[in-house]
Amino acid sequence: MKNSEIDRTHIPFIIMIAVIILLPIIIPSAYIISVMVFVAVYGVLALGMGILIGHAGLFSLAHPVWFGLGAYISGILAARGWVSPGIGIIVSAFFVALISCIIGAPILRLRGYYLACATFALLLIAQIAGGQLTNITGGHEGLLGIPSLSLGGFVFQTDLHYYFLSWALCIGCFWFCSNLIHSRVGRAIRSFHDSEIASKSMGVNIPKYKLQLFILTSVMASLAGSIFCFYLCFTVPSFFGFHLLVELLMMIVIGGIGSIQGPLIGSFVILWLRELINIYFGKIFPVMTSGVDSIFFGILIIIVLIFMPRGLAGWVEQSFNLGRRTYAYFKGPGA
């Protein structure tokens, strides 16, 4: 009984790893590989934000800030040649943890709309600062001269290297988060999503868990940001602004609020839909793709929220259950 249950929880990971390894062998296309790198990076980001929003009920919109800080700190350290890129990633993750702890401690006292407003303001302040501090960040022209990532003598150069690195991070974070959510800490986190008073009276130390979760997800975002900046060798503040926030919200909503696998599904679906729009609408409206893009995705979010509040993950689960019930029905009683 125990063995079969462990096997069942491992199945999604085994399938994911198999698909990730087989994909470049079956379809060796540089275009698909490079889009899949973005799917992994945005997947890590959306996963962290989805846990904050869906499981803990913390409506924190400052997630792109940690992503951007991770990218900028490791990028600056590597571009100025102060430390090697591998150490730079760890240093930036440490700094982001420190900063998110300092900011998170007062800001997580807020709830609901007010938390959302404060973190949204934080996002825009960070973007303005990124544009204004020209001598540190390079301003709106962007940070140039970031070298390739090297870890212990191995230099990451081709798309395929970054593909495996980013998916290793993504699957690692996914595995960690799904274990976390089903552990004692995860149950505590889900309990204060529903009622803070009830979970407080059961003895859950709410501020401590909130802050820990906030720091954890911001470190995940920072690691994703570091890989993002080494992959592109270039960053500008507008990568990490309002546009990224809307994209992340889309991934979470379309994937499904309150499920672990939802944000990953959302990241995959959104990025490939965007590529399709760019390919097909790029021919019809060559100039207006960003307008078409925001109209299409805005309407998609509204439709999903009204007609499919649990998103794609909920839909998959529903059809899976339906399939199981149909199977049991045809197999007859005693199955």
Partner 1 sequence: MTLLSQIIQYAISGITSGSIYAIVGICWSTVFLITNVLNFATGEFVMLGGMLTWLFLGLGLGLAPAAMIAIACTVLIAIALERLAIRPVRYPSEITYMVITIASASVIKGIILIACGSETRTLKHFIDIEPIRILEATLTPQVLFVIGVLIIVTVGLFLFFNLTLFGKALRASAFNFNGALLIGIEINRFRLFCFGLAGALGALAGIVIAPIAFTGYGIGLMTGLKGLVAAIVGGWSISGTVLAGLALGLLEGFGAGFISPGWTDALALFIMIVFLILRTLSFYPRLKKEPS
Residues that bind partner 1 (CB under 8 A): 53, 59, 106-107, 109-110, 112-114, 116-118, 120-122, 124-125, 128-129, 131-132, 242, 246, 249-250, 253, 257, 285, 288, 290-295, 297-299, 301-302, 305-306, 309
Judged by beta carbon, residue 33 or residue 53, the one nearer partner 1 is 53
We find the least distance from the C-beta atom of residue 56 to partner 1, in angstroms, to be 12
Judged by beta carbon, residue 80 or residue 109, the one nearer partner 1 is 109
We find the least distance from the C-beta atom of residue 124 to partner 1, in angstroms, to be 6
Judged by beta carbon, residue 23 or residue 293, the one nearer partner 1 is 293
We find the least distance from the C-beta atom of residue 305 to partner 1, in angstroms, to be 6
We find the least distance from the C-beta atom of residue 278 to partner 1, in angstroms, to be 15
We find the least distance from the C-beta atom of residue 134 to partner 1, in angstroms, to be 10
CA–CA separation, 189 and 37 (whole Å): 30
Judged by beta carbon, residue 33 or residue 108, the one nearer partner 1 is 108
Judged by beta carbon, residue 221 or residue 250, the one nearer partner 1 is 250
Residue with tokens 């592109």: 232
